[in-house]
């Protein structure tokens, strides 16, 4: 009995080793599975990294091409137009004299200083020509001006008065716009014809004058103006003019005379409609 228990197969150590053999077999299988999984993962990472590395360069994106919006055309001033205005005459200067029948000046009692409000109607045509950064504008305008522009005095035995009935005018106007083209600065030069009522009565020594008449006189107008567009068709303007008329000899029934010399300044505000 004892002899059989002493051989190698019956010792406790051998029995223990035999019991652990199944565990060693399972561990080997697990090790092999882990090695295969690790190798597969490494291969997958390597392939993925290579694919990613091949796409490291950023895609080429073409810069957008910006086409500037076309510039808006400058407002047009060309064409026919109609308009109206209100204004004021001031600083009239008409020195009244009294000549006897021999043509000798016997008295110069005072000066008529015509002033007062007026209104006007006008029609015109304009052309234009483009400059480097502005527009040149030119044209003709026919106008009518009426109202109550008058003056009178009583001095040293003389009484005199003047009253402007109306003025007709044909004016040339030319100027340039600002850079944006919506404001026009211009000069004025033209022919005018005025209709006046005029009276002078008085006596110096033995010479008398009794004149009450109407007359017409030609003259010129010169000035400056500025006009601003409100829309494509409507605009407003402001003008200054100096008007001077030819001297006019006026004679009463008895042969005594005076010389009318009307001239005055005028400012006005107006509105235009362009067709």
**Tens place of pLDDT for every residue, the chain, 275 residues?**
444 444 445 566 656 666 656 555 555 565 665 555 555 555 555 555 554 445 545 566 666 676 666 666 778 999 999 999 999 999 999 999 999 999 999 999 999 999 999 999 999 999 999 999 999 999 999 999 999 889 999 999 999 999 999 999 999 999 999 999 999 999 999 999 999 999 999 999 889 999 999 999 999 999 999 999 999 999 999 999 999 999 999 999 999 999 999 999 999 999 999 99
Number of domains composing the chain: 2
Decide if 63 is inside a domain: no
**Quick one: 47 and 84 in the same domain?**
no
**Quick one: 217 and 131 in the same domain?**
yes
Decide if 70 is inside a domain: no
Whether the Cβ atoms of residue 147 and residue 117 lie closer than 8 Å to each other: yes
Chain-centre distance for alpha carbon 159: 50
**Quick one: 156 and 35 in the same domain?**
no
| pLDDT score of 58 | 58
Decide if 228 is inside a domain: yes
**Quick one: 141 and 213 in the same domain?**
yes
Closest CA to 190 of 212, 210, 167: 167
Across 142-168, b (16+ Cβ under 10 Å) vs e yields: ebebebebbbeeeeeebebbbbbeebe
pTM of the model: 0.73
Decide if 48 is inside a domain: yes
Q: What range defines the domain where residue 89 resides?
A: 79-274
Distances (CA, A) of 163 to 158, 159, 199: 17, 14, 9
Tell me, what DSSP letter sits at residue 275? -
The Cα–Cα gap between 126 and 77 comes to: 7
């Amino acid at each position: 009995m004892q002899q059989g228990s002493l051989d190698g197969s019956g010792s406790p150590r051998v029995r223990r080793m035999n019991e652990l053999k199944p565990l060693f077999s399972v561990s080997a299988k697990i090790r092999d599975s882990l090695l295969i999984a690790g190798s597969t993962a490494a291969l997958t990472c390597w392939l993925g990294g290579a694919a990613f590395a091949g796409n490291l360069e950023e895609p080429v994106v073409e810069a957008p091409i910006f086409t500037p919006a076309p510039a808006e055309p400058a407002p047009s001033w060309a064409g026919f137009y109609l308009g109206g205005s209100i204004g004021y005459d001031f600083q009239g200067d008409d020195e009244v004299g009294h000549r006897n029948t021999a043509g000798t000046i016997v008295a110069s009692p005072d000066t008529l200083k015509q002033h007062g409000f007026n209104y006007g109607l006008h029609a015109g045509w304009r052309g234009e020509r483009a400059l480097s950064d502005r527009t040149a504008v030119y044209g003709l305008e026919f106008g009518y001006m009426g109202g109550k522009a008058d003056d009178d005095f009583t001095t040293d035995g003389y009484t005199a008065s003047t009253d402007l009935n109306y003025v007709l005018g044909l004016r040339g106007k030319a100027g340039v716009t600002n850079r944006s083209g919506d404001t026009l600065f211009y000069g004025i030069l033209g022919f005018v014809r005025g209709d006046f009522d005029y009276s002078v009565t008085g006596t110096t020594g033995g010479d008398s004058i009794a004149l009450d008449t109407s007359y017409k006189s030609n003259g010129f107008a010169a000035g400056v103006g500025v006009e601003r567009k409100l829309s494509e068709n409507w605009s407003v303007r402001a003008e200054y003019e100096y008007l001077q008329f030819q001297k006019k000899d006026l004679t009463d029934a008895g042969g005594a005379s005076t010389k009318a010399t009307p001239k005055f300044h005028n400012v006005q505000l107006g509105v235009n409609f362009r067709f």
